[in-house]
Every structure is written in structure tokens, then in C-alpha cells.
A and B are shown apart, each in its own frame.
Chain A
Amino acid sequence: SQQGEEDPQALSIQEGENATMNCSYKTSINNLQWYRQNSGRGLVHLILIRSNEREKHSGRLRVTLDTSKKSSSLLITASRAADTASYFCATDPDNAGNMLTFGGGTRLMVKP
């Protein structure tokens, strides 16, 4: 079952703009992770935020977590054409034996 749901399902922006993707989930979690997938490839781990953290940065990525609203957002600043990919959130529910549950993903297209 999919715990995380990304919004929007698809996003198209111009190079240089910021891209924001959201993830909502249903049950309490240990952590939430964001992954990137280029077309036809495997997923690459981007960032992990623990349930007791509210914000985390990694390069041009900024992730926030609001456990009261059961939601997270991924912000990519100053986007590049190479950021074109699908982005997935994955939750680690605290009652699921540490099995990650992936959402349906946001397909981001960055136009040069």
C-alpha cells in the first residue's frame, strides 16, 4: 500500500526557477526520505529527514517535515535541465518493520 502521496504528479518549469514538491503520508514515521529517478534508471537516494527534524539542506535541496500535518516538501533551488527526473518520497513507518513505502512520484521537467 502506498503511504506517501506526492503532489503535484507532474511539474514543468524553466531553468533557474525553483521547484517544490510535496509529500503527504498517513501514519507516524521514523524518517522520510526523498529519491530521484532518471527515466529508465534506478533510484538514487537524495536526503533523509528524521521525525524529530524539521528542516534539512543538501546543496540546492531543502527538505521540510511537518509531523503534525504528516507532510514533507522538497525544494530544488535554481533548477537545471539536468534536474529533469521523477522524485519520490519514501516513508519509514514506525510500525512496519522498517520497510520503506514509496509514493507515486512527481515528474519534474526543467526546460532549458
Chain B
Amino acid sequence: DGGITQSPKYLFRKEGQNVTLSCEQNLNHDAMYWYRQDPGQGLRLIYYSQIVNDFQKGDIAEGYSVSREKKESFPLTVTSAQKNPTAFYLCASSIDPGGPYNEQFFGPGTRLTVL
């Protein structure tokens, strides 16, 4: 059963804590992405990775960090430097980011709430 999984589904963070969101895919896709979605809004790109051991900042990378040590995994850490982290976080992957058919496949999302 191929797809993208994200865990946990819900996450609560105290102020000052770092938390890590998991994203795993078994689609053999090279590219992976992290987006943030605020209520009633569209998606904003946090980080993306087109190949293992390489990643690039998106539009709103401040306060976030990522790693890409394996093709299947692209974890996102929300650090204490992120001042307003409460949001819905979506992970995605694509097989052909440089080609004409670069549709993305999304995970179910993680809802992060700061207490």
C-alpha cells in the first residue's frame, strides 16, 4: 500500500519546546516538501528536498529545520524560534520535480497546537 504517512496526527507543544514532525513515503519519489497551512488559507512552502542529503529553504523557513538522510524520510523540526507555530503541516512528494508532470502527493497532515 504505497503512499505518504505523517505522524503524529495531532501534536501539542509547550512554548520553548522543539518538536519534530515525521514524514515517510514509499513511493520512491526523489522530491519531498513541507507546507504550512493556516485556517482558511492556502499552502506556504517551508522547505523542500529534491535529492537525499540536499534541501532548500522555501518561503517561510525561519524557525524550522529539516534533514534528508534517507530517500523515504523528510522530518521537520519546529524550533522554539518559530513564534507562531500553531498550524496544519502537510508533507508532499513528487516523482518528477524537474519535468512537465510534477504533481504532488500529500500526506494526511499533522495539526500542531502550542499550549
Contacts and interface: CB of A to CB of B under 8 A. Distances in A.
B84 interface: no
Contact count band on B: 20 to 34
Contacts of B97: 98
Nearest to A46: B103
Contacts of B104: 43, 45, 90, 100
Contact of B90 (A43, A90, A105): A43
Contacts of B44: 2, 102
A2 B103 CA distance: 18
A54 interface: no
A102 B43 contact: yes
A101 B104 CA distance: 12
A43 B45 contact: no
Contacts of A107: 40
When A and B form their complex, which 9 residue pairs have the shortest distance between CB atoms, in order from nearest? A42-B106, A102-B43, A104-B42, A45-B103, A43-B106, A102-B42, A98-B97, A42-B108, A42-B109
Interface of B: 4, 35, 40-45, 48, 58-59, 88, 90, 92, 97-109, 111
Interface of A: 1-2, 4, 30-31, 33, 35, 40-45, 48, 50, 88, 90, 92, 98-105, 107
